[in-house]
Structure 1
């Protein structure tokens, strides 16, 4: 390809296009590319917070007032136009884009199943059309050459994955792309500076589809691959990828260079700075990927490419929260050929991709990654209903997967063994080693994440001063360590009661709780307009004084055993049964009978009670 058609694709996230300062930085980056005689394609996300607002329209249409939503969106974008000195022409474009939202909202309640998802896609895509309009108009005022705005749905076409659900085809689509000189030439006809929407494409019928939440990274990678770009840039709100989430681990190290496979593993195991899907097309096309901060590009970032490294090394501690654990148990699977094939075919039929697998003679446990699949509760219910015909099924929610990611991790077992002390006295539901020798992953309780990640990072990464691929720490780069932690420390209840806590420690082991903190947290929950009823989980803490505080605030109690139900009644004999929620897991018939006798709320975790004890 001639130098005249050299493309750079630069993706800007929501926070990177949501202020005049951020847009001025974007213009500076465009100017630099033009000085290097590159064509540049700018791929933008919706303004920060807009996708969440549109998602509320799609997910809870009965709980929103659409006129209020339209007004919020109009005010947000027109006010932004005014702050950028964009006149009536730009503002009229915003108003025109919002004209159909009320009609689409009405269609959500009346359309058939497939049309419902198609309408959701149109609503969610609106955020990118709004932001790209503003970015295009602003950049046009700053450059002395034409800037073209294109519609990404006219350039990217999705491919229907075999057996994918209708919802995924519209809301979590993907594209098959190959580098094309012809595509690069066609794109160049639009101009040397082009603005496009991230997150969206079209299907073979010409309907708008989405590339999954966070899919603007993937859009940019698709464009870069198709145009044979010499470089893909992901501009976000942090200076590159780090060895842990820098906002919770200030000692996290900047990762200066990563191989495609390492970056893919870190992204797939939870690093939110980069969407996992975007690296595959870039790797196939051998396009270098740079990740940096849009507002502070001088802080450097992470360059991803073919990095040659012989020695083993831990690069990152990654976390995926909201992981779903599915345990399947039956003695029938022991030495029975085909059980796994039959069980996994059920996941396949429901369009669910399994992340991790652990097996024994009578149990198979898997995890499902909600990050890339967007799994709804109804989908899980259908899955469990079908699996229950084959085995006993237990669903465990609110788990997290903590991954030790690095190169040749199998050869680091002696180094890792001391770090495993971090899991002492913690529940580890599953441990897996990746077949590609890039990670060890532990599935744990979500509440244990912060302490475990801190200990693992301290043991495996913080003190490594010899690696040329590990840069400065987050606190060194940003200078925010002291102010962030002083603010957090000053707000914590225990910091204000240090003397009292020290006296308690001197008296022996104990648990300490703040009544005021509990009351504040309850008040915060009760202020949520989208929640009708709140139940306190008895398994969290059954100390009577705490339960009395919870009861006085009017909350209900969620119990996992009939013993917990009886305990609540023993403390509060006059409590209304409707304030107790009994959520058994494969409980015996006697517990169901007792719950029904008491008149408490009762949930079913499987179909067995209905099939075998229907008379109840």
Structure 2
């Protein structure tokens, strides 16, 4: 790539990129930590560091002057590796004091660093979140996120036919959709923007002149159509008491403590007097440990590789079509939302 972009092999970018790979090699040679999540975060960010270094240098080479920033010096977090929480006060100070507003800045997405300056990552959709962090700290007029889709659709076209473009979504509705798993925008991206009422535009880099979707104050949803979300490869765990006694608050509290301990993200719960069901992400591969712990106090059944479907603004027709040819394991209806776990 470098040889294609830079005629002069003595250009400083060659040494900079070489040094980044050297840093990575040194880390592997010296690392003694058995913590997979820590090691993951120290390694995964090098793709962003290398690619932004190349882009920044190339733009400077063709006359588009810019300033390369190491985002790890600006976004400060705790040490919850792979899903770090932002230290907003420290991040605000770092961005305010180190980002020049009158120049083009190029930096990385989804990375940060903890108080020991170890690299952290911000979790799912962390690059979009990074844009929102900078917008919030710099009081930006707007944020534009470029995707390979026309904007926010009412369904993922990979799984649903006839997906429609949503022209306008309110912050609240976008957060609701994202909370249930809509893949275009994550709730944590929206929250800092909502606090300062900074509009978010989701547009297609394939057709940059098209309007895309506006997420801002205003109409909840336009057009007002059912919105479909699916999360796959989840685990449905069903618990019941060993002696048919009630599942009381104390039991539920213990269950949630174990889910937190083993880093199981809860997607939906359902409970009755003597049973408790929960659908979770097993991203950290701790399912077996969790089940062993639960079996000490509960009768445990579980089903892996289930799918969780959510329909916002559902109608009878949309539910019927979704359930066709599927085995429904769990179903919950709320005012504007239905959730269905299928196998």
Q: Quick check: 1:137 aligned with 2:137? A: no
CA contact (8 A) 1:183 1:226 kept: no
The structure whose residues are more often strand, as a share, is: 2
CA contact (8 A) 2:143 2:199 kept: yes
Displacement of 1:217 after TM fit?
1.1
Q: Quick check: 1:362 aligned with 2:274? A: yes
CA contact (8 A) 1:179 1:225 kept: no
Displacement of 1:319 after TM fit?
1.0
Q: What is the TM-score with the length of structure 1 in the denominator?
A: 0.51
Displacement of 1:198 after TM fit?
0.6
Aligned partner of residue 203 in structure 2, secondary structure: strand
User: Please, which of 250, 268, 282 is the counterpart of residue 338 of structure 1?
Assistant: 250
The structure-2 alpha-carbon separation of the partners of 1:119 and 1:223, relative to structure 1 and needing over 3 Å to count, comes to: same
2:317 counterpart residue number: 418
Q: Quick check: 1:376 aligned with 2:299? A: no
Q: Quick check: 1:98 aligned with 2:21? A: yes
Q: What is the TM-score with the length of structure 2 in the denominator?
A: 0.88
CA contact (8 A) 2:235 2:280 kept: yes
Can you list the C-alpha shifts for 1:512-566, whole angstroms capped at 9, x where unaligned?
Answer: xxxxxxxxxxxxxxxxxxxxxxxxxxxxxxxxxxxxxxxxxxxxxxxxxxxxxxx
Aligned partner of residue 98 in structure 1, secondary structure: helix
Displacement of 1:308 after TM fit?
3.1
What CA distance in whole angstroms lies between the structure 2 residues aligned with 1:219 and 1:198? 6
1:441 counterpart residue number: 339
- How many residue pairs get aligned? The number is 339
Cα RMSD of the aligned pairs, angstroms, is 2.8
Aligned partner of residue 192 in structure 2, secondary structure: helix
CA contact (8 A) 1:181 1:228 kept: no
What CA distance in whole angstroms lies between the structure 2 residues aligned with 1:242 and 1:311? 11
The structure whose residues are more often helix, as a share, is: 1
2:330 counterpart residue number: 430
Displacement of 1:221 after TM fit?
1.2
Q: Which consecutive residues of structure 2, in runs of 5 or more, have no partner in the other structure?
A: none
1:486-505 equivalences in 2 (<5 Å): none
2:38 counterpart residue number: 118
Displacement of 1:344 after TM fit?
1.8
Displacement of 1:250 after TM fit?
5.2
Q: Quick check: 1:201 aligned with 2:89? A: no
CA contact (8 A) 2:75 2:94 kept: no
1:82 counterpart residue number: 3
CA contact (8 A) 1:429 1:444 kept: yes
The structure-2 alpha-carbon separation of the partners of 1:148 and 1:225, relative to structure 1 and needing over 3 Å to count, comes to: same
Q: Quick check: 1:399 aligned with 2:306? A: yes
Q: Quick check: 1:275 aligned with 2:180? A: no
The worse-fitting range, judged by mean Cα deviation, of 417-426 and 209-218 is 417-426
Aligned partner of residue 404 in structure 1, secondary structure: strand
Q: Quick check: 1:253 aligned with 2:153? A: no
Aligned partner of residue 100 in structure 1, secondary structure: helix
CA contact (8 A) 2:240 2:299 kept: yes
Displacement of 1:227 after TM fit?
1.3
Aligned partner of residue 327 in structure 1, secondary structure: strand
Displacement of 1:289 after TM fit?
0.8
User: Please, which of 390, 415, 423 is the counterpart of residue 297 of structure 2?
Assistant: 390
Displacement of 1:272 after TM fit?
2.4
Q: Quick check: 1:296 aligned with 2:207? A: yes
What CA distance in whole angstroms lies between the structure 1 residues aligned with 2:25 and 2:34? 19
Can you list the C-alpha shifts for 1:47-77, whole angstroms capped at 9, x where unaligned?
Answer: xxxxxxxxxxxxxxxxxxxxxxxxxxxxxxx
What CA distance in whole angstroms lies between the structure 2 residues aligned with 1:112 and 1:140? 39
Q: Which consecutive residues of structure 1, in runs of 5 or more, have no partner in the other structure?
A: 1-78, 161-168, 410-415, 446-616
CA contact (8 A) 1:104 1:119 kept: no
Aligned partner of residue 115 in structure 2, secondary structure: coil
1:189 counterpart residue number: 100
The worse-fitting range, judged by mean Cα deviation, of 267-276 and 394-403 is 267-276
The structure-2 alpha-carbon separation of the partners of 1:157 and 1:438, relative to structure 1 and needing over 3 Å to count, comes to: farther
CA contact (8 A) 1:180 1:228 kept: no
The structure-2 alpha-carbon separation of the partners of 1:91 and 1:213, relative to structure 1 and needing over 3 Å to count, comes to: farther
1:568-583 equivalences in 2 (<5 Å): none
What CA distance in whole angstroms lies between the structure 1 residues aligned with 2:117 and 2:168? 39
User: Please, which of 327, 342, 355 is the counterpart of residue 238 of structure 2?
Assistant: 327
